[in-house]
Amino acid sequence: MIKLYYWLIIVLNLAAALCSAGKYSREDFPPGFVFGAATSAYQVEGAAKEDGRTPSVWDTFSNGGGDVAVDQYHKYKEDVKLMAETGLEGYRFSISWSRLIPNGRGPVNPKGLQYYNNLINELISHGIQAHVTLLNYDHPQALEDEYGGWISRKMVKDFTNYADVCFREFGDRVSTWTTINEPNIFAVGGYDQGITAPGRCSFPFGFNCSKGNSSYEPYLAGHHMLLAHASTVRLYRKKYQRKQDGTIGVNLYAFWLLPLTNSTEDVTATQRAIDFYFGWFLDPLVFGDYPEIMKKNVDSRLPVLTKQESKLVKGAFDFVGLIHYTTVYAKDNPDSLKFEYRDFGTDMAVTQLLDADNPYSIFPEKLPIRPWGLQGVLEYIKQTYGNPAVYIHENGQVTPHNFSLEDTPRVEYLQAYIGGVLDAIRNGSDTRGYFVWSFLDVFELLGNGFGSSYGLYFVDVEDPDLRREAKQSAHWYSNFLKGNVQVDRENISSIAQGHSFVG
pLDDT of residue 401: 85
pLDDT of residue 500: 39
pLDDT of residue 208: 80
Q: Answer whether residue 500 is part of any domain.
A: no
Q: Answer whether residue 502 is part of any domain.
A: no
**DSSP assignment letter at 338:** G
Give Cα 137 distance to the centre of its chain: 11
123/253 Cα distance (integer angstroms): 27
464/427 Cα distance (integer angstroms): 49
**Cα–Cα distances in angstroms (integers) from residue 481 to residues 85, 130, 455, in the given order:** 11, 17, 17
Strand blocks (E) in 127-175:
129-135
Which amino acid belongs to residue 316? A
- Asked if 466 and 455 touch (Cβ cutoff 8 Å), the reply is no
Q: Answer whether residue 57 is part of any domain.
A: yes
pLDDT of residue 67: 93
Burial state string for 25-52 with b = 16 or more CB within 10 A and e = fewer than 16 = ebeebeeebbbbbbbbbbbbbbbbeeeb
Domain that holds residue 480: 1-495
3 state DSSP class of 38: strand
Strands 389-394 and 34-38: unpaired
Quick one: CA torsion of 150, 154, 158, 163, rounded to 10 degrees?
60
491: alpha, beta or left? (left if phi > 0; alpha if psi -120 to 50): alpha
Q: Which residues of the chain have pLDDT under 50?
A: 1-2, 5-6, 12, 15-19, 359-362, 494-503
Q: Answer whether residue 501 is part of any domain.
A: no
Angle between helices 472-481 and 408-426 (to 10 degrees): 30
Report how many domains make up the chain. 1
pLDDT of residue 491: 73
Quick one: CA torsion of 4, 5, 7, 13, rounded to 10 degrees?
160
Question: Counting every residue, how long is the chain?
Answer: 503
Q: Answer whether residue 334 is part of any domain.
A: yes
- Asked if 435 and 394 touch (Cβ cutoff 8 Å), the reply is yes
Q: Answer whether residue 20 is part of any domain.
A: yes
pLDDT of residue 447: 64
Say how many Å lie between the first and final Cα of the chain, rounded: 24
pLDDT of residue 496: 41
pLDDT of residue 355: 63
38/20 Cα distance (integer angstroms): 27
Q: What is the mean pLDDT of the chain?
A: 91
Q: Answer whether residue 503 is part of any domain.
A: no
pLDDT of residue 497: 46
413/419 Cα distance (integer angstroms): 10
Tell me the catalytic residues: 182, 394
Percent share of the chain, pLDDT over 90? 82
pLDDT of residue 63: 85
pLDDT of residue 364: 59
Residues 6+ apart with CB under 8 A from 308: none
Read off the pLDDT of residues 315-331 as tens digits, 9 standing for 90 and up: 999 999 999 999 999 99
458/471 Cα distance (integer angstroms): 6
- Asked if 299 and 230 touch (Cβ cutoff 8 Å), the reply is no
Residues 6+ apart with CB under 8 A from 155: 139, 143, 147, 149, 224, 228
Phi first, then psi: give them for residue 464, nearest 5 degrees: -55, -25
Domain containing 55 — which CATH number?
Answer: 3.20.20.80
55: alpha, beta or left? (left if phi > 0; alpha if psi -120 to 50): beta
Phi first, then psi: give them for residue 241, nearest 5 degrees: -60, -40
Closest Cα to residue 360, out of 442, 260, 261? 260
User: Per 3-state DSSP, what percentage of the chain is helix, strand, and coil (rounded to 5)?
Assistant: 45, 15, 40
Give Cα 113 distance to the centre of its chain: 25
Q: Answer whether residue 26 is part of any domain.
A: yes
Give the Cβ contact number of residue 7 at 10 Å: 23
- What residues are paired with 91 via a beta bridge? 37, 130
**Cα–Cα distances in angstroms (integers) from residue 217 to residues 92, 320, 329, in the given order:** 29, 25, 27
Closest Cα to residue 35, out of 385, 448, 461, 479? 479
3 state DSSP class of 388: coil
**DSSP assignment letter at 30:** P
Phi first, then psi: give them for residue 474, nearest 5 degrees: -65, -45
Which amino acid belongs to residue 212? G
pLDDT of residue 458: 96
